[in-house]
Chains A and B, each alone.
Chain A
Amino acid sequence: MRALQTLVRKEFRQIFRDPGMLRIIFAVPLVQLLVFSYAANTDLHNVPVSALDQDQTVASRRLVEAFFHCDVFVPGPIAHDPRELKELLANESARVALWIPKGFTKDLAEGRTPQVGITVDGQNSSVAGRASGYAQVIVARETQRMLRERGFEPETASGGVARVTGITRFFYNPQLESRFFMVPGILVLLITVISSLLTGMAVVREKEIGTLEQLLVSPLRPFELVVGKTIPFVVVSFFEFCFAGVVAVLWFHLPLEGSIPLLALSGMAYLLVTLGVGLLASTLSQTQQQAMLTVWFFLVFGILMSGFFYPVENMPRWAQWISAADPVRYIMDIVRGIFLKGSGFLDLWRDLAILTGMGLFVFGSAAQRFQKRLS
């Protein structure tokens, strides 16, 4: 036990002696949290719209104006002929092009459906999909309103006809701010990256520069060596998790609805997984570069399949199966649930149990492999 204490103390001293390391532990996550939380915004904002208004009437101008009543669209350069409209789209001055041909008002006056052209830049498919949805709704709503003003009944407001109305209520995040959803995810990413990469490289480093053999001739038992090498990273990563969490709550006003002990418990269970992955990679690797790439492989797919960017339900069946084996997915659900929805143990016990099971398995097998390599 004494030897273990000494090893842990040595590891801590080694971490805090290196100013580069201090920067990695404190400055880097803070910068990442701030930058990514502002950047990872999937709300549509400032999408430039260019209009080609060949009708040039009050009604057509009103339709163009209707686009700028919400904060999704902003006015882009105005086009004077179809060719110019196409160019504006091609050089990305506009993302959405609206073409109101001549006869728009005349159609309205005669109660006919006016033809309006909407062209969307489809390069970013997710933005394009949503922007086209918004644009269609705006055009439909505004033209319906204008038809009604002219005494025609568009069908949705069909007077005495029975109709079903939807009354929507949004739980937890009534403003539907994407940031509240992204920030807990970013917290998870931060501790995932830091804990697994640092552990992976730290052990191999001793191998690479030859100090591991020195440790082996010390009175440390292999088990103590594993624990001693990982404890500092548990502490550092856990501290990081709390630190980033506090910043998220204070700076981004992320609501913390659920229980803090549960959050801490889940964080610990998850660290078992990431440290285990790091340790496992280090037993498989000869150089730090190799260890890093091995961990990286886990990181890239763990994060891609976790539902951080795109909902898991959205993936094809086979991908959902892969995702079921992805520890990042469970912690992502847990952390988001605790922060945003106030999910409790009863809501999350299954995720938590799977995560703990994975942690024990990964860490256990990594520790065992590590011991075997040593003896």
Chain B
Amino acid sequence: MKRVFAMARKEVYHILRDRRSLGVAILMPLAMVLVFGFAIDMELKHLPVAFLDQDHSPASRALIRNMTSSGFIVDAARLRTREEIGAGFRSSRFRAAVIIPRHFARRLDEDETSPVQILIDGADGTTAATVDNYLNTVLLQFNRELVNSGAAATLAASAIPVDPRLRIDFNPELKSAYFVVPGLVAVVLMMICALLTSIALAREKETGTLEQVLTTPVTPLQVIVGKLLPYVGLGAIDASLVLAVGRLVFGVPMHGSWWVLAAYSLVYIMIALSLGLLISALAGSQRNAMMFALVATYLPSLILSGFIFELRGMPLPLRMIGEIIPATHYIRIVHGILLKGEFWFGRDLAIMLVLLLAFTGAATRRFRATLE
């Protein structure tokens, strides 16, 4: 045990001596929460839209005012010709163009339907659909105002379209921080515990110091445990920081118990460590360890875990891969504890334990093989 702590102390010195790496390891998760929380608002707004008003009537100006008044879209440009639209799309100056044709107002007066053309840059399909939705809603409102101001206003008084009562559970204001904080905790723990440890171990191999250590009376197991311990601490500090910022700055709720969260996190951290160990055993150099770790741990935790992209939207094979990624289950657990106050996650825990056994088994086998 004393030897383990000696190894751990040596590794702590290593970490502390390298101020910049330590700074990056601690500041980056923090900065990520802040950026995600402040800068990345998943609700779209301020989208630039151009207007081509060929009518120049009070009605057409009123329509443009209605469209830009909510702040969802911004009046990015007033066009003179249709040719400018293509150029604007190609240089990404605006995302949509609204053309109000000549005689727009006259047609309204003559009780005809009056068409308005909406051209949207569809390259970003998700945003395009939202813009289309919004503009059509404005048209609907515009019509409603016309109806209300006109003589025929009383016509449909009894039949207002349904106003479904909408409720959003678990995250009523749709704050992205609620969603991002648990995901970031998972990614950060994976990064520190798997990526950094695999590189730390690979460095000893690459520079030949692992053999020097092994000639001392320390056993390989003690070396490994000793080297891993400080990273557990670093990971825990990072995860706590992310959670603290989430709670204090963005008001992410905690409906469950911190102890339950800590217990599940421990399992997850052990999985990450065993993955780091496995990768360092497989990779010959730090560079390869980093690349393997990046591809096998970091990116899947980010992309296939349901953190950024919904698993349900993916093809079946990817969904199956997603199900065996530890971060998927951990994120579910953290969500459940923070937002719903649950405490028992039998299925997720079972899968995580199986993964833990598989990775540690493979890692120790590989490691023993390389050492002997």
Within the assembled complex, what's the spacing in Å between the Cα atoms of A147 and B128? 31
How far, in Å, is A212 (CB) from chain B's closest CB? 14
Question: B interface vs A, CB < 8 Å?
Answer: 18, 20-21, 24-25, 28, 31-32, 35-36, 38-48, 63, 74, 86-87, 89-92, 95, 107-130, 132-133, 135-136, 139-140, 142-144, 146-147, 150, 152, 155-156, 158-172, 174-176, 178-179, 196, 199-200, 203, 206-207, 283-288, 290-291, 294-295, 299, 303-304, 306, 308-310, 312-315, 318, 321, 332, 335, 339-340, 342
- Inter-subunit contact A173/B113 (CB<8 Å): no
Contact in complex: A42, B126 (CB < 8 Å): yes
Q: Which of A137-145, A213-221, A222-230, A240-248 contacts B (4 or more CB under 8 A)?
A: A137-145
Question: Among A130, A161, A198, A344, which residue has its beta carbon within 8 angstroms of that of B152?
Answer: A161
Q: Roughly how many angstroms separate A130 CA and B86 CA in the complex, as a whole number? A: 28
The CA of A284 and the CA of B160, in the complex, are separated in Å by: 66
Chain A residues near B (Cβ < 8 Å) = 18, 20-21, 24, 28, 31-32, 35-36, 38-48, 89-90, 92, 111-130, 132-133, 135-137, 139-140, 143-144, 147, 152-156, 158-178, 180-181, 193, 197-198, 201-202, 205, 208-209, 284-290, 292-294, 296-297, 300-301, 304-305, 309-311, 313-316, 319, 322, 333, 336-337, 340-344, 346-348, 350
A112 to nearest B CB, angstroms? 8
Report yes or no: A121 in contact with B170, Cβ–Cβ below 8 A.
Answer: yes
Which listed residue (A172, A175, A294) contacts B121, Cβ 8 A? A172
Contact of A41 among B135, B313, B339 (CB under 8 A): B313
Point out the residues of chain B lying under 8 angstroms from A45, CB to CB: 310, 312-313
Bound state CA distance, A339 and B48, in angstroms?
21
Q: Which interface residue of B156, B160, B314 has the most chain A CB atoms within 10 A? A: B156
Chain A residues positioned under 8 Å from B31 (CB to CB): 301
B121 near A289: Cβ-Cβ < 8 Å: no
**Residue from A135, A292, A315 within 8 A of B199 (CB atoms):** A292
Check A209/B167 contact, CB under 8 A, given A24-B288, A38-B318, A167-B117: no
Contacts of B124 in A (CB 8 A): 178, 181, 311
Known: A35-B318, A319-B39. A341 touches B161 (CB 8 A): no
Asked if A165 meets B18 with Cβ closer than 8 Å, knowing A36-B303, A129-B174, the reply is no
* Docked complex Cα distance between A234 and B279 (Å): 27
Residues of B within 8 A of A130 (CB): 126, 130
| A128→B41 CA distance, assembly (Å) | 13
Contact B168 A168 (CB under 8 A): no
Give bound CA distance, A333 to B123, whole Å. 11
What is the bound-complex CA distance between A156 and B64, given in angstroms?
A: 20
User: Distance (Å) between the CB of A99 and the closest chain B CB?
Assistant: 9
Take A198-B287, A201-B290, A289-B200 as given contacts and tell me if A31 and B295 are in contact as well, using a CB distance cutoff of 8 Å: yes
* Closest CB in chain B relative to A8 CB, distance in Å: 19
Question: Is there contact, CB below 8 Å, between B123 and A289?
Answer: no
A300 touches B28 (CB 8 A): yes
A347/B40 contact (C-beta < 8 A), A154-B159, A165-B139, A169-B120 known: no
30 A-B contact pairs sorted by A residue (CB < 8 Å): A20-B285, A24-B287, A35-B303, A35-B304, A43-B313, A45-B310, A112-B158, A119-B167, A122-B171, A129-B174, A140-B162, A153-B155, A153-B156, A154-B160, A163-B113, A166-B115, A167-B117, A168-B132, A170-B122, A171-B89, A171-B121, A172-B123, A178-B125, A180-B123, A180-B125, A287-B203, A293-B24, A301-B31, A304-B36, A313-B47
**Could you say which of A38, A132, A284, A297 contacts B168, with CB atoms under 8 Å apart?**
A132
Residues on A with C-beta less than 8 A from B125 are 42-43, 173, 175-178, 180-181
A287 near B18: Cβ-Cβ < 8 Å: yes
Residue of B nearest to A170 (CB): B122
The answer on a CB contact under 8 Å between B150 and A161 is yes
CB of A157, distance to nearest CB on chain B (Å): 9
Note all chain B residues with C-beta closer than 8 A to A336.
123
CB <8 Å contact, B42 and A337: no
Bound Cα distance A171, B124 (Å): 10
Contacting pair B123 A162 (CB below 8 A): no
B127 (CB) vs chain A CBs: closest residue:
A311
Give the residues in chain B near A31, CB-CB below 8 Å. Answer: 295
Closest 10 CB pairs of A and B: A176-B125, A122-B171, A170-B122, A319-B39, A126-B42, A173-B122, A122-B168, A125-B174, A20-B288, A343-B90
Indicate which residue in B28, B118, B135 contacts A296 across the interface (CB closer than 8 Å). Answer: B28
Question: Which of A38, A111, A119 contacts B315 (CB under 8 A)?
Answer: A38
On whether A118 and B161 interact (CB within 8 A), knowing A42-B126, A163-B114, A164-B63, the answer reads: no
**How far, in whole Å, are A127 and B308 apart by their CA atoms in the complex?**
10
Contacts of A117 in B (CB 8 A): 164-165, 167
**Which B residues lie within 8 Å of A122 (CB)?**
168-172, 174, 178
